[in-house]
Amino acid sequence: MTDPLIIPRAEHGVSRKAISPNAVKVLYRLKDAGFAAYLVGGGVRDLLLGGHPKDFDVATDAHPDEVYKLFRNCRLIGRRFRLAHVHFGREIIEVATFRGHHDQAEGENESRVENGMLVRDNVYGTLVEDAWRRDFTINALYYNIADFSVVDYTGGLQDLQTRTLRMIGDPEVRFQEDPVRMLRAIRFAAKLDFRLANELTELLPQQAHLLDVISSARLFDEVLKLFLSGHAEKTFDLLLRYGLFQHLFAQTADAFSGEDTYAERFVRQAMRNTDARIQVGKPINPAFLYAALLWPSVHWHTTQLQNTGMPPMPAMTQACREVLDQQISQTAIPKRFRLPMKEIWMMQLRLPHRECRRSLRLLETPRFRAGYDFLLLRHQAGEDETLAELCDWWTEIQTKDEAGRLAMCRPISPQASGKKRRRRKAKVKKA
């Protein structure tokens, strides 16, 4: 291990004024209590790049129980990594104890490795050990509240200047310890517009299969981080380029393999729209995001079932169930999102029917807006030329008053009305 590069306050751009006041409070209280206190990670990285970070993490030689005693508003969390969360209203300052190498653990409870993967890691160490334990060089920069210097053990400052994402240590070993680091590499490369170091570009496709052993619940969370950072389209491109996408969405990746390019165009357009909404501060519902990511497979399965003679609604229902059942083996989808996803998909069969009562009822349903936006997305991706007129109709009817809406609606055909009367009579007879 080499001596650190220490950049004094006069030679770097990190200012306390740009740091959350609550993070500064935590840093000073730790320092005044006799502990080392450093701002670390993405906050330092983004400040050096001239950005405005939202999250600020603190590293210290104080153990979690010692941090807990210093802050009445502190909560201790985590098993794999024991962390202190200091709460200031909605803002949380995360405080982590310097970590040592897991092979230095004194007992089974501190560190545990299974098949090369680190499953528990509460081994405490020094500042230099903590720096070399982090994932990427640009995330191993420390701002010292004691003298306002920036400390660099791993060459992170040089990689910031060359805009290079480089793993600390042997990338193959680090990916085996935690395969999710591959997804973090993609996320940071897309978010920061950095190039991946050569050793990463060669290794990612070879190690992508390691993602298959990660819990589906953890991968669900990682997918949201990947695509809700404001750089979804670039993230999508990188996941495809390095063979990671298929280990998150195998069914969708299979849909990309055919001659028809619609599936990939659709997902790309969904990513582009997601970025546009985030840029203007609009929220993204995870149910809509996942509905878009899985639509190529749902659409394909529905078409195949209809080709066997199954009516559209049962075909869509079965396709939804089969696709969701298969997907949750890769990335878990909480139940609170599955029902909205199904409703968005099923709405695509209901929107083409524009009879008066049906149309007006659809406009009042809670999921109408999501279903309508999904219809627009299908049109933008070029699924079917006939969708243009349908999109225009639903766009216009939303601007009308009740009389205008009634004027736009189609009357119920005598044939359809007769079918309804016959169904009512049949129900009466059964009763």
Write out the catalytic residue numbers. 55, 57, 135
Rounded Cα gap, residues 372 and 364, in angstroms? 12
Nearest residue to 199 via CA among 176, 159, 155, 167: 167
> How many residues make up the chain in this entry?
431
Which DSSP string do the residues of 16-71 spell out, in sequence order? GGGS-HHHHHHHHHHHHTT--EEEETHHHHHHHTT---S--EEEESS-HHHHHHH-
One-letter amino acid for residue 244 of the chain: L
Is residue 151 helix, strand or coil? strand
Q: Which residue has tokens 């206190």?
A: 37
Environment class of 312 (CB within 10 Å of its CB; exposed 0-12, middle 13-18, buried 19+): middle
Rounded Cα gap, residues 301 and 194, in angstroms? 38
For 227, other C-beta atoms within 10 Å of its C-beta total 27
- Indicate left, alpha or beta for 70 from its phi (over 0: left) and psi (-120 to 50: alpha): alpha
Decide: 378 and 400 in contact? Cβ < 8 Å: no
Question: Using the 8-state DSSP alphabet, how is residue 2 labeled?
Answer: P
Token pair of 344 as six digits: 């968005």
Nearest residue to 152 via CA among 139, 169, 166: 139
